[in-house]
Amino acid sequence: MTVLATPSTTKPALHERRIERLWRLYPNRMMAAVALLVYAVISYLTLAGAGPVRFRVDFTLLLQSPLVLQAHVAAAVITFAAGCVLLAGVKGRATHKALGYVWVVSMAVTAVSSFFLQSLNPGSFSFIHALSAWTMIILPMGLAAARRKNIAAHRKHMTGMFMGGLVIAGLFSFLPGRLMWHLFFAV
């Protein structure tokens, strides 16, 4: 008599265990990889048959945009630059603390200004606004964790906001047809 294994008693396949381990060890990298894959698929489907895409820099659309959008883009660029320096630099020094406050203020400006931008869903909020709301909740928590010397929580909150609220949201602002895409690319 043969006994069939039930799903609850079988071990996951080796590749499934590896993927679970990667998610556990590198959640931000895996989140970025999935976002990049989704971005690539959406971009490919949007640009299919549109002709060759050329790189160019043309800031006239940004300069003609409303002031709130200009402030949002400026704050996002400052936040991204400061975040890269903070992630790459030595932690715990006076420079890290000072640049960290610049990062927190510019991240708050980026998140708050996004509530006034509703181009994805005119007249109402979109899924990106959920990231902004989450950022406004987690930002003070990350700052409080640093002040309490809870470095592990501080690192988790700030790195998560950098990846999710800035890098991934920023990546999707470069989808074909959106303003940031038109600043740097043409068909």
Which segments of the chain are extended strands (E)? Answer: 54-55, 185-186
Burial class, 62, CB count within 10 angstroms (exposed 0-12 / middle 13-18 / buried 19+): middle
Q: What are the pLDDT tens digits along the chain (187 aa)?
A: 555 555 555 676 776 777 777 667 667 777 778 888 887 888 888 888 777 878 888 889 889 989 999 999 999 999 999 999 998 888 888 999 999 999 999 999 999 998 888 766 666 777 778 888 999 999 999 999 999 999 999 999 999 899 888 888 888 888 888 888 888 887 7
CB atoms within 10 A of CB 122: 7
The residues spanned by each domain of the chain are: 27-186
Would you say 158 and 166 are in contact if contact means Cβ atoms under 8 Å apart?
no
- pTM recorded for the entire structure: 0.77
CA distance 151 to 56: 42
